[in-house]
Structure 1
Amino acid sequence: MRKQTLDKRLLVGGAIDIVINIWPLRFLFALLFITYTAKISGQDSLGIKPTYQYSLLELSQLKTITGSIKEVKVNKSPSNITVVTAKMIEDRGYQTLVDICQDIPGFDFMLYNEGNGEYPTHSMNRGIGEVGNSEILVMVDGIIQNNISFNWSSLWTFENMLIDIERIEIVHGPGSVIYGAQALTGIIHFITKSNQERIIVKPFFGSYKTRGADVLVGTKIGESAHFSLALHTLYSDGDKGLNRYDPGEYFKEKRYPVYFTKDYNYDGDLLYNQPNTSYGGKAIPEGFNTSQTSFAIRSKLQLKKSTLGFFYNDYLRGYGPTIVSYEYDLTDKENTTHYRTFHAYFNNNAPLSDKLQLNSSVVFRGTNIIPDGGFKYLYRFPNLRKSYGAYAYQGYIEERLDWNVNERNDFSLGLKASLSRKSDRVVSLGDYPSNKYSTSSSWDEAVKDDGSLNVPKAYPVFNVSEVALFGLWNKQWKQLSYSLGLRYDYSSEFGNIFNPRMTFDYHPSDYFGTKLLFGKAFRQPSIFELVNEFRGNPNLIPEKIYTSELQLRSLLFNEKLSLKTNFYLSVIDDRIGKVNDPTSLSGERFENIERMTITGMSFDLNRQLHKYIRYNVNYNFIVGLDNNEIYTINRTAKHKLNAGLNTVLFKERIIGDMRMNWVGKRKAPDENVWINTYEGGYAPSYLKFNMALSYKLSPNLKFQFVVNNLFDEQFYGIGRETGSAFADDYHHESNINPDGLIPAYHPQPGRTFLINITWEQPSNMITKAWDKI
């Protein structure tokens, strides 16, 4: 009897232990408990929507513009769109686009809010992406933000601000028929607030001496004008990477090399194999620079049918864990990369008649890499810094004629022409470049065996002209609509390309619908891929994708449950990758390589349990296909699951929001020797929770406490590019320069805290002051 009692106790104790210690079960248990308590408290009317501001029906009917140019409801857009509203951004305590996209199906990150060294990001979308992720297009109010020379997407981390964002429209799938190059796997479109008459001041501070502030001022000017101004500033020491999960010891327990393979003396003579008398054999400081400094300003003036806007950002950050610490000085305070970008634009909407409207845009923008940072080697040139600089500018005009034929039929015809001044990166060793297009100390000259320091070199500048013509026709019946689009692009870089799109949408009611989508899109080769002396290939042609997609959507249980499911198949042709080339300076070159086929599915569920409780769950499955055989795509999780819970308590004074990200194991490339040796070829899965708790102190003042990585999960992003560095090969005496410069993985932060204090009030006092003037 005692043994049976003991067995029962062990069984019960084991069950309790499982519930307590397995994180997914914790979350599901919490959902079940909240569901039960919501049911016994009664089902209130959804006439008031305190959770995320909108009811599920209203969310499905939000007006969007990215997929169709003109305003159209989300559920009837000719694209697969996810909308992130300002209230979601606020309640969830999001700071960056990386934070947001971790909760969206389809996105994978190799590095997260630390970017990717000299690149702005290394993320993937629907199994496609490389350093910089130039396969996705990022826009602000219709203005392209991708790097002009290198096509990299931007605004992923702290160089952007979210305080003035009305919503973010994320298009999943090809978008080139309207927006041209780089809309290969999708579009991320920031829509800023309009006609806001209020002042918001939001100081914040958190872990690792993080502090900053966001400010938004919006006011009327006279009877017909409106002005808004948003400011953002942030500084953080970062955690310096000291306590992050580093199982392969890429960033700790290493010693300085005992000699330098190459060095320059004070007379400028190149010396070989010189002893490291100062530090040889001593311990290298652990960790890496994770500091962040950013400033951004965005403004716009709206007058009747015209808008004049401006955006500027300056962003300096540490390299983070992007290169290995035993070959490079990663703790140096100048181990940084510096971006500075801007755009200015003028838009005008001119009605020509009751049915015709002409939309005109003039844009000028710049994307610059400022060469006042860089990194030092530990095994050569110990007193000299390698830095990157690049400056590019672009101007374009766009004219679009919209013809509203009747209530159910409309047509748009667009013309865009642009001129770009592009340049390859200026790479210096020692002195920083003296101007935008040359360097006084050329890297490629200084590293030659017979090279010399401080050799000036001018980098070529490329003037590129492009023109595009597109048409889009939308037809609506009672229960069926279709959208047909075609775009022609010509570029002096790559020639001509056509991109079609077709969408058929059957929607018998607001509660059920299905879409069939087909689209083609392209990514143009970058200046670096075309002309760089180490790997460039001037014969590259654009990378292309063909995507077919089926969407099913429904709204059930008296508008309290919404479900969207998507199935897609993508074929990528003429992918731009690297191949071996012994005639190249680097031993490899860029080339259009073999076709790739990807298939996947996602579902997104939202459940309104009570007018004060809502949760959401989304899941993503993605694999590659090769001769009808399924395989796991490098650096992409086959399975990902996200969930979130939003609750409103105490007469809407307290808002609690919790989110979960479970990312399955990710396959490492064959070149990633460490993961293939020690992790069986796959980076481990991870489960991460984030929490935001908001308390309204008064109608004008709110306090928010944000915890990221709540349970201090130890995890890492898989190594960018090949991740071929193998830490075990390094020895400070016998092998000071092993193969590979990219670590097998990138350790990510543990638990961090952030406090936001938001003060808000109407801006009528500014309006009254203006009226007196």
Structure 2
Amino acid sequence: MKQKFMLWFMVLWCFLGFSAFAQEEPVKIKEIVVTASRVEEPASEVASATTVLTSKELKEKGIINVVDALREVPGVQIVQTGAFGGLTTPFVRGGGNGQALVMIDGVPVWDPAAPAVGDLAAFLPHLPIEQIDRIEIVRGPQSVLYGPTAMTGVINIITKKGKGKPKIRVFSEGGSYSSFREGAEFLGETKHLKYNLNYMRLDSSGISKATGFPERDGQRFHNFSGNVEGKIGKIKIGTSVNYNSAAKDLDGWDFATSTTTDALGYKEESDLVSVKSYFEHEILPSWRQKLVFSYTNTDRDYTKPYEGHYDGRLYYISWQNNLEFEPFTFITGVDYQRETAAEGSGIEGKNFDHISWFGEGILRWKGLYFSSGIRYYHHETAGDKVTCRIASAYIFPTKTKIHASYGTGFRAPSLYQIHAEFYGMKIGNPDLKPEKSEGYDVGVTQGFFDGKIEADITYFSNWFDNLIIYDLEEWKYQNVATAHTEGIEFTLNTRPVSWLRLSANYTWLNAIDTTNNTWLPRRPMHKGSGTIVFLFKDKADFGLTGTYFGKRFNSQNNKDSLGGYFTVNLSARYYPTSYLTLNLRFQNLFDREYEEVKGYNGLPFMAFLGAELKW
């Protein structure tokens, strides 16, 4: 049944795409501005493998949170310990937990009290699309641009800013498993000021996170974000706030049998606060500088039987200067971070300070794009490190773009990995060394039919050394693993006519633990998705998305396997007036049973009906 539906889905995708060329004049794919080099650039010039997801496109697909958006990105795998708010880990190009940097508005956001540096597993499921303008995913080593946690890539979540006349939007949605979402937004701008306030809440009774149990593990969360930006002459000053409060039921783990188990009353309550302030000044037409201050606090409480309290705080200061002398652009700056664990199991009162200098040069000349950069990094415990990166692209008159990049990266051990205790037993290891990596990619982007279709194919390869794992024999963290990942990413996007948009992507991945010659756990060899969106001007739109996730192993020893699965999501929106939108969406339309982690349920079939008012 799964194979038959996948086949029919592919046939429908191809038929619609090619038959549409015989109809009205096409709508050419627009150039998208991204931030792949800490400066704005046209997507057509970027040498790094980059994907941009806009809020408009995500709404057309019926996607409501960041996690589901990332599932459809080539080279990115999402692993979640159960539906309805389970711990969530993004693997980029086969890398591990915390090796891809998550940012909100260009500022790193993670939990310093979590097991791995860069870990935002407790909060990633609760970031709603309603507050987001776009998500930029840059794949490949990016430590030169964004620091040591960007070993395999960067996920930059960019929130909305005020624009135009004051607008108000409210929405409500209800659906399966007593699930409800409500929210409101107020935004606009004046001559010198942009402003945006956004609130959203969600609650659901959910299903059991662990397989084989009847009780429901629900979740609820509240999310507030706001930003304001003032501009006078050539000076910009702005502040943004993101607050997330969540509570969810969890299930336990039986250490004797290594299986999930029901844990009645086991809950996690968490709060995340992220505050950013910035100052931008155009000193000269060729010289701009930006100063950023940010503070992130992540607070997590766990009830019995696995009681604990973790409070991590991250302080960040960045000073960046952009110098432009055509055809050259030079970027240089200093980043400072302090990681603090105010409370935790053996890590309370511990902190790290690290400071780094970075520099990058960019050349744009007659279709050629070339950049190179270096970062010198000093970490309080990991010592001094240097990372480098080069990237280049060339666009031929035929609209063929060849692109390639190479970079090195590293990640220092976390506070938890060095100092942690578990029920009085020391599991941290102060002798840990930083993880190291290097990687490259090379690819071709080609436009067809005067820009109606754009396709890209990219090969990548990464090597990892000194990987930190938890040694079950020694009962502590150790540097014992090396790994190699390689793969191919393919994307295809087209909007041949105004009423139709098609997109597809596929990733082939080979991810090997070269220490033990085993497959890295929870990384599928095959992954892909395809989307068909019908746009009926200002009357309605309809989206259908199919996603395939291949077979993979669940554990490091490759004894437990997880089956592949294919899911289908459907969404429809109807606009009876310019002020009112009615929406209907279905997730996992054919109720496919699956697990992303052994012993944890995937998302079942769910249906939602909602409405939105704006004026």
- The alignment's TM-score, normalised by the length of structure 2, stands at 0.91
Matches within 5 A, 1:678-757: 682-719=561-598, 745-757=599-611
Question: How far apart are the structure 2 equivalents of 1:419 and 1:715?
Answer: 40
Tell me, yes or no, if structure 1 residue 469 matches structure 2 residue 327: no
Tell me what 1:425 maps to.
344
Partner SS, residue 208 of structure 1:
coil
CA contact (8 A) 1:329 1:375 kept: no
Tell me what 2:614 maps to.
760
- Change beyond 3 A, Cα 1:165–1:501: same
Tell me what 2:332 maps to.
413
Tell me, yes or no, if structure 1 residue 314 matches structure 2 residue 202: no
- Change beyond 3 A, Cα 1:459–1:592: closer
Tell me, yes or no, if structure 1 residue 200 matches structure 2 residue 174: no
Tell me what 1:186 maps to.
153
Could you tell me which of 22, 25, 41 is aligned with 1:45? 25
Long gaps (5+) in structure 2:
none
Give 1:464 deviation, angstroms.
2.1
Query: Between Structure 1 and Structure 2, which shows a larger proportion of strand residues?
Result: 2
Could you tell me which of 16, 26, 33 is aligned with 2:8? 26
- Change beyond 3 A, Cα 1:472–1:756: farther
Matches within 5 A, 1:419-568: 419-423=338-342, 425-426=344-345, 460-509=348-397, 511-533=399-421, 534-568=426-460
| 1:486-516: CA deviation from partner (whole Å, max 9, x where unpaired) | 1111121321111101001111248220111
Give 1:124 deviation, angstroms.
2.3
Amino acid at match of 1:230: N
Tell me, yes or no, if structure 1 residue 637 matches structure 2 residue 487: no
Question: How far apart are the structure 2 equivalents of 1:158 and 1:628?
Answer: 33
Give 1:193 deviation, angstroms.
1.9
CA contact (8 A) 1:291 1:318 kept: yes
CA contact (8 A) 1:166 1:192 kept: yes
CA contact (8 A) 1:289 1:330 kept: no
Tell me what 2:299 maps to.
368
Amino acid at match of 2:88: T
CA contact (8 A) 1:137 1:153 kept: no
| 1:448-507: CA deviation from partner (whole Å, max 9, x where unpaired) | xxxxxxxxxx86411322111100110111021210111111121321111101001111
Could you tell me which of 81, 89, 94 is aligned with 2:58? 89
Give 1:709 deviation, angstroms.
0.4
Give 1:26 deviation, angstroms.
2.2
- Change beyond 3 A, Cα 1:557–1:505: same
- Change beyond 3 A, Cα 1:388–1:510: farther
Could you tell me which of 69, 77, 88 is aligned with 1:121? 88
Which moved further from structure 2: 340-349 or 507-516?
507-516
CA contact (8 A) 2:82 2:601 kept: no
CA contact (8 A) 2:85 2:219 kept: no
Q: CA RMSD in A?
A: 2.6
Tell me what 2:313 maps to.
393
Question: How far apart are the structure 2 equivalents of 1:192 and 1:100?
Answer: 15
| 1:556-590: CA deviation from partner (whole Å, max 9, x where unpaired) | 01211110111011000111113355xxxxx4221
Tell me what 2:482 maps to.
595
Tell me what 2:129 maps to.
162
The structure whose Rg is larger is: 1
Matches within 5 A, 1:566-581: 566-579=458-471
Question: How far apart are the structure 2 equivalents of 1:169 and 1:683?
Answer: 30
Question: How far apart are the structure 2 equivalents of 1:175 and 1:34?
Answer: 38
Tell me what 1:259 maps to.
none
- Change beyond 3 A, Cα 1:328–1:549: closer
| 1:298-325: CA deviation from partner (whole Å, max 9, x where unpaired) | 1111100111111111111121576699
Amino acid at match of 1:366: N
Could you tell me which of 58, 75, 80 is aligned with 1:106? 75
Which moved further from structure 2: 85-94 or 608-617?
608-617
Give 1:752 deviation, angstroms.
0.5
Question: How far apart are the structure 1 equivalents of 2:208 and 2:511?
Answer: 37
Question: How far apart are the structure 2 equivalents of 1:549 and 1:328?
Answer: 39
- Change beyond 3 A, Cα 1:296–1:141: same
Instruction: State percent identity of aligned pairs.
Output: 20
Partner SS, residue 718 of structure 1:
coil
Amino acid at match of 2:151: L
Amino acid at match of 2:79: M
- The alignment's TM-score, normalised by the length of structure 1, stands at 0.73
CA contact (8 A) 1:208 1:238 kept: yes
- Change beyond 3 A, Cα 1:345–1:110: closer
CA contact (8 A) 2:83 2:601 kept: no
| 1:83-110: CA deviation from partner (whole Å, max 9, x where unpaired) | 0011111111112222112111223333
- Change beyond 3 A, Cα 1:211–1:322: farther
Question: How far apart are the structure 1 equivalents of 2:6 and 2:494?
Answer: 18
Tell me what 1:135 maps to.
99
Tell me what 1:236 maps to.
204
CA contact (8 A) 1:535 1:588 kept: yes
Which moved further from structure 2: 91-100 or 603-612?
603-612
Partner SS, residue 432 of structure 2:
coil
Question: How far apart are the structure 2 equivalents of 1:321 and 1:698?
Answer: 49
Question: How far apart are the structure 1 equivalents of 2:239 and 2:515?
Answer: 52
CA contact (8 A) 1:158 1:315 kept: no
Tell me, yes or no, if structure 1 residue 299 matches structure 2 residue 226: yes
| 1:406-430: CA deviation from partner (whole Å, max 9, x where unpaired) | x21010111122333225624xxxx
Give 1:627 deviation, angstroms.
8.0
CA contact (8 A) 1:114 1:290 kept: no
Partner SS, residue 697 of structure 1:
coil
Tell me what 1:270 maps to.
none
Question: How far apart are the structure 2 equivalents of 1:192 and 1:180?
Answer: 22
Amino acid at match of 1:486: I
- Change beyond 3 A, Cα 1:670–1:63: closer
